[in-house]
Structure formats: structure tokens, C-alpha cells
Amino acid sequence: MESVWRLAPEGLDAWAVAAFLRHALPPGESLFRNVGRALVTPPRVRRQEVPVESPVEEERLTEQLLSALSVTVAGHIASGALDVSLSGGVDSATLCAQAARHAPGRVRAWTMDVHFADAAERRNARTVARAAGVELVDVPVPDAVLPDLFEPAVLSNETPLINARAVASFAFYAEARKRGASVLLSGAGADEVLMGNPEALTGAKARVEEDRRLAREVLRPSAVDNLGTTSTVEMPWALESSEASEEVRYAAWVLRELVLPPELRGARAHGLTVRTPYLDAGFADVALALPESTLVRDGAGKWLFRHAVRSLVPDEVRLSRKTPRYAHTALSSPVRARWLELYHAWLTPSRLEPLRVIDPAAALVLLERYTRLSPDAPEASGLDRLLMRLVSLAMLQAHCRSHTPCPES
């Protein structure tokens, strides 16, 4: 794939920047002037609407799901993928266990030690590694390196970042490559095809509305007017293929905009290939055809999947509830002062004016308001998402204008 930097020497498109901040950028449009994005058509598979009431039918679906995953993982193992990213959640734990069964004694599991990593999941990762009989490689990511890695992470992802987790992943992949990993299996996408977070859609709608409200505060009025009314009414995933269900359209949007760039591009910048077995058609089509009644029970997602992997994954891991991992703000960082210094350095008139649609004075007002907040303030995460997006956009524009080569690991 050709680098965007060779295709977009003129920088970012002003209309696209405004549309992006308002969640109104069409799937085929990019932030870069005269550069489009390849469209990926969401699968047309739809969930069965008839609830499964027969234990025999439920068990048949369980076996079908587990078989599809086993075949998918076996294919990756056969092609030489012997390393697994192990967060400690049920998705990555299952991948690790499956890989170990297909390649006994040859698999390595990789974990990330960063301050916002969930302590229970890190314990679970150790439990899974012992149970599967795989080597566990723990990669420390010091908080102090994250602000300095923000710019290279943004440039490698070729898109704005919205939290420090993506930056930590960038550091994690760099270290994994140094230690010999070349192809890494990731659990990314499991939540999206298996309804791992039943409340995700409701939460996403609230975040989109908050992002749009905050974006309006920093966009010049003319930029908002040029977007029309669509960006204030429709959810961004409504712009995806109308032939797919809302669930699939939402999943496609989340994966393209939030999940996959740090997983794929961030790793690729270091010469590491990340593969996502849960998104392979052989598994995803089976998962997306499962009735919702088999996946969501008592408010928890992935029920049938958790049941299917009962012989692979220890119960304390298999039955653990989903841990929210969306928000991580500069305010909650142990190196808060360094993050705020970075924000102040990039959110200046000289950095923001080239974007043409941002009011630098308004951005500064929001930044000053942000610096006075406590980490647990209700508005902290929304403001941080906006500020990280603005800093990212300024970095992308500056990089295009400088005509410097894309950073190498």
C-alpha cells in the first residue's frame, strides 16, 4: 500500500477536517486533499431473528462457532503466526489457547504493562499463559515515553488518535518487533462480531453527540454552515452501506475509525504484521449470523462464545465481565504535566491556522478549561478526545507541509 504522504503533499482538506470533527466524513473520503479512502463493504450477513430455545440447537451453534475459530486460527498458525497479543480478556485468551493447541510449545504470548492496563486482566493473562503452556513476554511501556511518542504514532497511523492507548500500542509493537515478533495475532474485532458490549451502540451515540457539541465550539461558524444539517442528525455509521444491518454498519465504522488503525498501521510502522482472526470471513460470517438471544444474557455479551470456549479458557477469565477501556485522558496520567505541555505546544495559532477551519482562540479557551479539571470530571474524556484530535490534525498538517519522510521505527 502506498503511503499517504506520497499522495497528499498539499496537506489536509479544510472541509474534511470540519466534517471529521463533526463525525460527518463519508466512508470514501479522507482527511487529505485529493486523496480518497478505499471502501470496504460491510458483510450482508444478518442475525437470525428467531430465538434459539432448544438446547440441542444451541449446542450445535456452539460447536459451529468453535470449529470456525479453530479452522481460522489453524490457518494463521500454518502460515507462521506463532505470537499472540494477550490482554487477558476472553478474546485474546481464546486465541492464545487455540494457537497453543495447534502449535504446542511454539507459541509466545505478549502482554503490555502500562499504568492504565487493567490489573485483573493482567493477572488473567498470566493464568492463561500457564494453562496454555506458552511463553509469556511482558512488555513494559513507561508513562513518560507516551507524550513523546504521540507524534510518531499519529504520523504512522495516518489519522488522529483519541487516547493514549493507541500510543501505548505503538510502543508495544515496537518492542515486540525488537524482541523477534514478526506476525502477531490480535483479538481485535471480537466484540464487534460477537456483541461483546451490548451497550456499545448507546454509549457511542452519546459520545458522538458530545463530540459534535464540543467541535462546534472550536470550528469557525462558516465551517459548520458548510456541513449542512446532516452531521447534526445522523449517526456516522448511517453513512455506511445501507444493505447491512445497523449493528454491522456500526461495527464497520468502529473498526475503521477507532480500532484497526492502531492495530494495523501502528504495528506496520515497525515492520510487524497484526492479523485479526475474529474478522476473517470464515469466522465473522458465522458469528454475525448467530441470534442475539444466544449472545446477550443478563446484560452481558458474548454468552455463546464464552460457553463455547469453556474447555479452553479458565472460568475466571472466560466469565469475567467486559472492562471499559475507552477513556484515558492526559489528566489521569502520571506525567500529566508533560501531556499538557504537548497540548500547549501544538494548540497555537501558528499550528492551527493552516487547518483553516479551527478558531485558535476558542481552542485555547477549551484547553485552559481542561487544565483546571479533575481527572474524574464528567467532561474530561470528551474534552480530551477533542484536544487529542486537534493536536493530531495539527501534526498531520505540519508533516504534509514539511515534506519530510514518514518516520521509521
Helix (H, G, I), strand (E, B) or coil at 333: coil
pLDDT of residue 322: 64
Kind and range of the H or E element at 336? helix 336-346
Cell 495516518: give the residue: 158
Q: Which residues contact 56 (CB under 8 A, 6 or more apart)?
A: none
pLDDT of residue 199: 86
pLDDT of residue 405: 45
Nearest to 219 by CA among 359, 13, 348, 353: 359
**Interval 91-109: pLDDT, tens:** 999 999 999 999 999 999 9
For the chain (length 409 residues), average pLDDT per consecutive 10?
52 93 90 77 68 85 96 96 95 97 97 89 94 96 95 94 92 96 96 90 92 95 72 78 80 89 91 96 93 88 94 93 64 93 97 96 97 93 96 95 50
| Three-class SS of 124-157 | HHHHHHHHHCCEEEEEECCHHHHHHHHHHHHHHH
Nearest to 132 by CA among 73, 51, 57: 73
Handedness of CA 366, 372, 378, 381 (dihedral sign): positive
Cell 463493504: give the residue: 41
Cα separation, 124 vs 187, whole angstroms? 15
Kind and range of the H or E element at 110? strand 108-113
- Chain centre distance of CA 228: 29
pLDDT of residue 146: 95
pTM metric for this prediction: 0.90
The one-letter amino acid code at 45 reads V
Which letter does DSSP use for residue 52 in this model? P
Cβ burial of 15 (10 Å; 0-12, 13-18, 19+) is middle
Does the domain at 40-327 match CATH 3.30.70.1230? Answer given as no
Cα separation, 147 vs 163, whole angstroms? 11
Helix (H, G, I), strand (E, B) or coil at 32: strand
pLDDT of residue 409: 30
Cell 490534525: give the residue: 393
Cα separation, 95 vs 345, whole angstroms? 42
E strand spans, 146-195:
183-185
Kind and range of the H or E element at 209? helix 200-218
Which letter does DSSP use for residue 56 in this model? H
14, three cell numbers:
479544510
Cα separation, 161 vs 121, whole angstroms? 24
**Bridge pairing between strands 83-85 and 273-275:** unpaired
Cell 432448544: give the residue: 54
Radius of gyration of the chain (CA): 21
Cβ burial of 130 (10 Å; 0-12, 13-18, 19+) is exposed
